[in-house]
Amino acid sequence: MNWSDLGSLAPIIWAVLTAAAVLLVDIAAPGRRAPAIATALMGLAVTAAVVLSLAGHTETAFGGAYVVDGLTAFLDLLFVAIAALTIMFADDYLQPRGLPIAEFAAVLIFAITGAMLVAGSADLLLLFVALELMVLPGYLLAGYARNDPYSTEGAIKYFLLGSFSSAILLFGLAYVWGLTGSTRVDVVAAALAQAAAKGSIAPGLAMGLAFMTAGVAFKMAAVPFHYWTPDAYQGSPTPVTAYLSVGPKIGAFAVALRLFVAALGPLKADWLPIVIVLAALTMTLGNLVAITQDNVKRMLAYSSIAHTGYILVGLAAYAGGQHSGISAILFYGAAYTFMNMGAFAVITALQRRPGVTSQISTFAGLGRRSPWLGALMALFLLSLTGIPPLAGFWAKAYVIVAAIQAGGWLTALAVLAMLNAAAAAFYYLRVVVYMYMRDPAEDAPPLSPGLLFRVGLAVTGIATLVFGLFPAILNAASSAAGVLKG
Partner 1 sequence: MSNSLDSYLVLSGLLFAIGTFGFLARRNAISMLMSIELMLNAVNLTIIAFGAFVKPLHVHASVIALIVIAVAAAEATVGLAIVIAIYRNKKTPLVDEYDSMSQ
- Window of 173-181, 405-413, 419-427, 446-454 that interacts with partner 1 by CB under 8 A: 173-181
- Can residue 57 be called a binding residue for partner 1 (CB under 8 A)? no
- Can residue 64 be called a binding residue for partner 1 (CB under 8 A)? no
DSSP helix/strand/coil, 184:
strand
Separation between Cα atoms, residue 229 and residue 44, nearest integer Å = 28
- Can residue 409 be called a binding residue for partner 1 (CB under 8 A)? no
- Window of 62-70, 214-222, 231-239, 442-450 that interacts with partner 1 by CB under 8 A: 231-239
- Bridge partners, 121 (sequence order): 66
- For residue 178, CA distances in Å to 63, 132, 171, 172, 458 come to 20, 21, 11, 10, 50
Looking at residues 109 to 128 of the shown chain, list those that interact with partner 1 (rule: CB under 8 A). 125, 128
- Can residue 471 be called a binding residue for partner 1 (CB under 8 A)? no
Amino acid at 123: D
Q: Select 70 or 154, whichever has its Cβ closest to partner 1.
A: 154
Looking at residues 182 to 201 of the shown chain, list those that interact with partner 1 (rule: CB under 8 A). 183
Cβ distance 174 to 208 under 8 Å? yes
- For residue 166, CA distances in Å to 132, 207, 209 come to 8, 16, 14
Q: Given candidates 12, 80, 148, 251, which one binds partner 1 under the rule CB under 8 A?
A: 148
Q: Select 174 or 466, whichever has its Cβ closest to partner 1.
A: 174
- Bridge partners, 85 (sequence order): none
Separation between Cα atoms, residue 283 and residue 312, nearest integer Å = 9
Separation between Cα atoms, residue 235 and residue 312, nearest integer Å = 26
Q: Kindly state the smallest distance separating residue 164's Cβ from partner 1, in Å.
A: 6
The full 3-state SS of 215-236, as one line of letters, equals: HHHHHHCCCCCCCHHHHHHHHC
For 225, phi then psi, to 5°, come to -115, 35
Of 11, 14, 19, residue with least CA distance to 40: 19
- Can residue 150 be called a binding residue for partner 1 (CB under 8 A)? yes
Q: Kindly state the smallest distance separating residue 153's Cβ from partner 1, in Å.
A: 5
Under DSSP, the state recorded for 295 is: B
- Which H or E run includes 60? strand 59-61
Q: Given candidates 149, 199, 355, 446, which one binds partner 1 under the rule CB under 8 A?
A: 149
Looking at residues 233 to 272 of the shown chain, list those that interact with partner 1 (rule: CB under 8 A). 234-235
- Window of 97-105, 136-144, 190-198, 476-484 that interacts with partner 1 by CB under 8 A: 136-144
Site string for partner 1, 286-325 (x = CB under 8 A): -------xxx--x---------------------------
Q: Given candidates 177, 372, 409, 436, which one binds partner 1 under the rule CB under 8 A?
A: 177
Q: Kindly state the smallest distance separating residue 166's Cβ from partner 1, in Å.
A: 7
- Can residue 354 be called a binding residue for partner 1 (CB under 8 A)? no
- Can residue 227 be called a binding residue for partner 1 (CB under 8 A)? no
- Can residue 214 be called a binding residue for partner 1 (CB under 8 A)? no
Separation between Cα atoms, residue 34 and residue 451, nearest integer Å = 12
Cβ distance 301 to 230 under 8 Å? yes
- Can residue 152 be called a binding residue for partner 1 (CB under 8 A)? yes
Of 29, 24, 255, residue with least CA distance to 121: 255
Q: Given candidates 39, 47, 121, 166, which one binds partner 1 under the rule CB under 8 A?
A: 166
- Can residue 456 be called a binding residue for partner 1 (CB under 8 A)? no
Q: Select 55 or 134, whichever has its Cβ closest to partner 1.
A: 134
- Can residue 230 be called a binding residue for partner 1 (CB under 8 A)? yes
Separation between Cα atoms, residue 49 and residue 100, nearest integer Å = 28
- Can residue 154 be called a binding residue for partner 1 (CB under 8 A)? yes
- Can residue 415 be called a binding residue for partner 1 (CB under 8 A)? no
Q: Given candidates 89, 93, 110, 139, which one binds partner 1 under the rule CB under 8 A?
A: 139
**222, HSE (Cβ side, Cα atoms, 13 Å):** 28
Cβ distance 331 to 398 under 8 Å? yes
Q: Kindly state the smallest distance separating residue 42's Cβ from partner 1, in Å.
A: 28
Q: How many residues bind partner 1 (CB under 8 A)?
A: 43
- For residue 328, CA distances in Å to 82, 394, 409, 419 come to 19, 9, 18, 19
Cβ distance 261 to 326 under 8 Å? yes
Separation between Cα atoms, residue 75 and residue 68, nearest integer Å = 11
Cβ distance 462 to 311 under 8 Å? no
- Can residue 140 be called a binding residue for partner 1 (CB under 8 A)? yes
- Window of 143-151, 246-254, 276-284, 337-345 that interacts with partner 1 by CB under 8 A: 143-151
Q: Kindly state the smallest distance separating residue 178's Cβ from partner 1, in Å.
A: 4
- Can residue 465 be called a binding residue for partner 1 (CB under 8 A)? no
Separation between Cα atoms, residue 256 and residue 308, nearest integer Å = 12
Q: Given candidates 129, 201, 277, 288, which one binds partner 1 under the rule CB under 8 A?
A: 129
Q: Given candidates 204, 224, 371, 407, which one binds partner 1 under the rule CB under 8 A?
A: 204
Cβ distance 424 to 385 under 8 Å? yes
Separation between Cα atoms, residue 136 and residue 156, nearest integer Å = 12
Q: Select 215 or 386, whichever has its Cβ closest to partner 1.
A: 215
* Residues lying near partner 1 in the complex (CB under 8 A): 125, 128-129, 132, 136, 139-140, 143, 146-150, 152-157, 159-160, 163-164, 166-168, 170-171, 174-175, 177-178, 181, 183, 204, 230-231, 234-235, 293-295, 298
